[in-house]
């Protein structure tokens, strides 16, 4: 039996720019938190090191800025 994709998986809806930006910010903060978890578990790959730098650079630059913007 072959695999079948559901047609109802992707839903398009009108959103305001505010909602769109909030979703982008949430995605960014989740990415930073996930990167921290991966760095601490020593599961960071070459992609993380190329983009964020080492763990020290990541904490000083990316993580520090993200935490300062947390509510």
Which residue in the block uniquely carries the two structure tokens 């998986």? 9
4 vs 27 pLDDT, higher one? 27
Q: How far apart are CA 40 and CA 35, in angstroms?
A: 9
The model's pLDDT over 10-64, given as tens digits with 9 standing for 90+, comes to 677 788 899 899 999 999 999 999 999 999 999 888 898 899 999 999 999 999 9
The model's pLDDT over 25-39, given as tens digits with 9 standing for 90+, comes to 999 999 999 999 999
Distance of CA 65 to the CA centre of its chain: 14
pLDDT in the model for residue 14? 82
Ordered by start, the domain boundaries in the chain are: 17-68
Tokens of 56: 């020290």
CA distance from start to end of the chain: 49
pLDDT in the model for residue 6? 67
């Amino acid at each position: 039996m072959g695999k079948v994709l559901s047609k109802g998986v992707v839903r398009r809806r009108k959103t305001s720019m505010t909602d769109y930006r909030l979703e982008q910010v949430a995605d960014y903060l989740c990415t930073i938190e996930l990167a921290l978890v991966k760095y601490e578990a020593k599961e960071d790959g070459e992609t993380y090191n190329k983009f964020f730098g080492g763990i020290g650079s990541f904490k000083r630059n990316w993580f520090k800025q993200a935490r300062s913007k947390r509510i």
